[in-house]
Structure 1
Amino acid sequence: MSGAALARLLLEGGAVRVSHGQPFILAAGWASPAYVDCRLLVGEPRLRRAATALAVEAVRAAFVAPPEAIAGAETAGIPWAAWMAEALDLPLRYVRKRPLGIGRNAQVEGGPVEGMRVLLVDDLMTDGGSKVAFARGLRSAGAVVEDALCLFRHGTFPGGAERMEKLGLNLVALASWRDVLDAGGEGALPAEDRALLERFLADPIGWSAAHGGRATLLKPPL
C-alpha cells in the first residue's frame, strides 16, 4: 500500500519531526507537535524516485479519467508535478498561490490549460485552504480540475473535507499520520514520540488551542 510505503520513506528521510517542547505552527495556524517536511525527500535521489513512483502508481489506479496535464502547486508541489509529468509523459504546468499580473492565465505558468483535464499536485494538505486558491486559479484559466493529489495529508483539523467537497475536488493523499504511526521496523517513531502523537490525534483542536495555535475555523470552509 502507498501509505505504508510513503510513511517508511518519510521516516527514513528524517522528514517526520516530533517536538516535545515548542510546537510547530502550521501554515493554516494550527499548532501541532509533529510536522512532515516532504522537501527532505526532494533532496535525496533514491527517496524522491521511490515517492514519485508511488504517486504515479496512485494516479494510474485512482482516477477513472486520466489527466491531460499535471499542475504543480507553488512552490512545494512543482518538483513532484515535474517528475510525475515526466513519468506519465504529460504536459507540465504550475499554478501560483495568487495571480501575478492580469488576465485569465495570471496564476498559471507553462502553457495554456483551457479545456484540459488537469491534475493538481501538492506535497501537503492541512485544512485545504491553499487548494481552493490553486483550483480556482486553474479553473479561471479554463482548466477542468476535478482531482488533486498530495503526498501527505494531516487529516486532523476541521475544514479540509468540507472544502474539498464544496470545491468539487477529489483529493488522493498517499499517506497520513496513521500510516506513520503504523510504520514499524527500522526508523519507526520512538515510543515517546508515538505517545505524544496519539495524544494529539485524540483531540487535535484542543491540543492546538492549548499550545498557542488556532482553536476554531476562522471562517467558513469556502
Structure 2
Amino acid sequence: MHKLSAKIFIFLRPKPRSDVTSSKIAEYLLKIKAVKIDVGNPFQWSSGWKSPIYCDNRLTLSHPEIRDFIKHGFVERVKAEYPEATGIVGVATGAIALGVLVADEMGLPFIYVRSKAKGHGMQNLLEGDVDSNGKYVVIEDLVSTGCSSVKAVQAVQATGATVLGTISIFSYGFPQAKAAFEETGTQYDSLTNLKTLLEKAQEFDYLQADEQATIFDWQQDPANWNGQE
C-alpha cells in the first residue's frame, strides 16, 4: 500500500526534469559502484584528506545506457542554462570523453584543458582551436575543492574567451569549491550532488541515518575530518 501511494503521488505531482535526472544519475553511480561509501573505513585522497566517499565517474563511460543518459543530462542543462554557448571544454583527463560526447550531440566545437602544459613542442595547455571570442561551457566529471576546474576556467579566460559556467556529473558541495568559482566570476553546477546521492543510498539501504549525518559533517570541513567518532 505504501509503495502504491508513493507512485500515485509522483504521478499527480511530477518532479521537475532536473530533479528526475539528478536522482537517476545518483542511482546509476551507486549501482555501478562509481561512488563507494564507507564511513567506518574512510578512503584517503591524494591530498591526504580522509573521506567516507570515493568517486570515480570514469566508470560511467563503460556503460552505454548510463553514458547516454549523462550525456543528455549535460546537453539539457547547457541548453537551459547557457543557450548562447558556442563551444564545449573538457577537463583532463576524466571529462575529455564526456566533453566530446556533449559537443558532438550539440554540434559545437570542442577543446580540452591539460592538467599541465606539455613539456615539448608548442607547450600547449589548451588543445584544440580556441576562439578568443567564443563562449564556452566547461564539462567536468567531478568537482571537489574546485581547484582543477578553476584552473581550466582560468586557462580558457586567459585566451580572451568567455567561460559561461562549469557543469559536472557530481559535486560534493564543499564550501571551498563555491569560493574558488566565485573568484573566477563564473558559476558551477552539477547534474547530481551529495544530498541526492545520500538520499538514494538510504533508499537502497547502503547506509543508515546516523552515517548520513556523519557524511554531512565531513562535507562542512573535509580537511579536518578524521573519521566517525
Q: Which deviates more from structure 2 when the two are superposed, residues 141-150 or residues 120-129?
A: 141-150
Question: What is the RMSD of the two structures over their aligned residues, measured on CA atoms?
Answer: 2.5
When the two structures are superposed, what TM-score results if normalisation uses the length of structure 1? 0.83
- Where does residue 83 of structure 1 map in the other structure? 101
Asked if residue 30 in structure 1 is aligned to residue 49 in structure 2, the reply is yes
Asked if residue 175 in structure 1 is aligned to residue 192 in structure 2, the reply is yes
1:207, CA displacement in angstroms?
6.4
Gaps of 5+ in 1: 213-222
Q: Which deviates more from structure 2 when the two are superposed, residues 21-30 or residues 88-97?
A: 21-30
Task: Specify which of 25, 31, 54 is matched with residue 6 of structure 1.
Answer: 25
1:105, CA displacement in angstroms?
8.2
Is contact 2:201-2:207 (8 Å) kept? no
Number of aligned residue pairs: 208
- Where does residue 209 of structure 1 map in the other structure? 224
Asked if residue 50 in structure 1 is aligned to residue 66 in structure 2, the reply is no
Q: Which deviates more from structure 2 when the two are superposed, residues 202-211 or residues 115-124?
A: 202-211
Corresponding letter in the other structure for 2:187? N
User: Percent of pairs identical after alignment?
Assistant: 26
Corresponding letter in the other structure for 2:141? D
Asked if residue 158 in structure 1 is aligned to residue 158 in structure 2, the reply is no
Cα deviation, 1:72-97, whole Å, max 9, x if unaligned, reads 00100101101100111111110112
Q: d(CA) in 2 for partners of 1:189 and 1:143?
A: 46
Q: d(CA) in 1 for partners of 2:163 and 2:48?
A: 27
Task: Specify which of 128, 142, 156 is matched with residue 124 of structure 1.
Answer: 142
**Bigger Cα Rg:** 2
When the two structures are superposed, what TM-score results if normalisation uses the length of structure 2? 0.81
- Where does residue 11 of structure 2 map in the other structure? none
Is contact 2:88-2:111 (8 Å) kept? yes
SS in 2 for 1:191: coil
Task: Specify which of 69, 72, 77 is matched with residue 87 of structure 2.
Answer: 69
